[in-house]
Amino acid sequence: MQKAAKLRKSVEETKQALVKEAIRIHRDEEEATRKLTEAGAKLVKDGFTILTHCNTGPLATTGYGTALGVIIEAKAQGKNIKVFVDETRPLLQGARLTTWELKKAGIPFTLITDSMAGYFMSLGEVDCVIVGADRIAPTAIPPTRSAPISWRCWPKSTRFRSTLPRLPPPSTFP
């Protein structure tokens, strides 16, 4: 944005340059999100029960959203899926936002407390975990807060593996 605003002769030219740059950034984000959701949805099998945490749907991002976008895209591909939605403490984004978006998309879900996630994973009732993060470092390392502690206690004893997207929007990193 600073680059777009640089060397403009008037306030009006600066405004126009900033709006043009914002539109370009949004389009880049839409394209990256579309690629991410399509690639992620290919990994979701028919009949999967998916566990998700926080909110990464259309209310938070462009298009279908990122992590929730994968779920919505899998449903659009005709896959029969259901979702466990963590409440996402302390702001309850899962309970307030993700459940609303899933209901609007016609995807069956069950709202659970954050502490129940590891329990359902240990029972083998979760086939896939899809989470988002506010930011993912260029090294593809998510922040540790991207999942409740009960999730991180189970991976050694379950069949889960971690896959992170490598499609950050071009505008996010220099």
Residue numbers annotated as active site? 134
DSSP per position, 4-62: HHTT-SSHHHHHHHHHHHHHHHHHHHHHHHHHHHHHHHHHPPTT-EEEEES--STTTSS
How many H helices and E strands in the chain? 7, 4
Q: Look-up: residue for tokens 């499609």?
A: 167
